[in-house]
């Protein structure tokens, strides 16, 4: 079984999809897009988003 997370960082949102065997089985998103980082670094925004996935 193959599985992976595919992130997409847009200007206003950060979205990610969890794929299992080539099929998106779960998705999550946040308002941590490029223009909404505030005082967070890119890594901090990704770390927060990653904790929202519990595959």
- Which has more confidence, 49 or 18? 18
pLDDT digits (tens, 9 = 90+) for 2-42: 998 888 878 888 888 999 999 999 988 877 777 887 888 87
pLDDT at 52: 64
- Which has more confidence, 15 or 54? 15
pLDDT at 19: 94
DSSP string covering 1-55: --EEEEEEE-SS-EEEEEEETTEEEEEEEES--GGG-TT--HHHHHHHHHTT---
């Amino acid at each position: 079984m193959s599985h992976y997370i595919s992130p997409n960082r847009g200007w206003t949102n950060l979205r990610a999809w969890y794929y299992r065997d080539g099929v998106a089985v779960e998705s999550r998103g946040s308002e941590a897009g490029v223009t909404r980082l505030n005082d967070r670094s890119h890594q901090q925004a990704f770390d927060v988003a990653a904790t929202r996935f519990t595959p």
